[in-house]
Amino acid sequence: MTYTILHNPNCSTSRKGLEMLKEAGVEPDVRKYMNVSEQLSVDELKDIAKKMGGVSPRVFMRAKDAPAAGIDADSSDEAIFEAMAANPKLIQRPIGIKGKKAVLGRPPEDLLKLV
């Protein structure tokens, strides 16, 4: 089963998570979701939330970047998914995906839960 990591090479936590996976013998598919050609759609983001156990997108949203994107405490999950798809900077990273499970790599060691 393929392990995919949503990765931002400019993020030290994301780099550490990818390195940890490789040290554990995992060669994941790397999706650089910040690149225009690899951005996530609303449906993909909803699927990630489902794979995380049906969580709100707030669980994997970068809260410090939310106000600049017009996201506040009253924003609906749908509005957050749409904002994340339009502005991938809002997506917390890294995220590991394997089969029907996904996990936020905060701390990066959590990525190993899917190994």
Nearest to 14 by CA among 111, 114, 99: 111
What are the boundaries of each domain within the chain? 3-114
Which among 110, 91, 87, 89 has a CA at the least distance from the CA of 16? 110
Of 11, 26, 55, 112, the active-site residue reads: 11
Token representation of residue 8? 């931002």
Q: In the annotation, is 99 catalytic? A: no
- The 10s digit of each residue's pLDDT in 34-63 is 999 999 999 999 999 999 999 999 999 999
Q: Which residue has the tokens 């400019």?
A: 10
CATH 3.40.30.10 applies to domain 3-114: yes
pLDDT in tens, 2-34: 999 999 999 999 999 999 999 999 999 999 999
* pTM listed for this prediction: 0.95
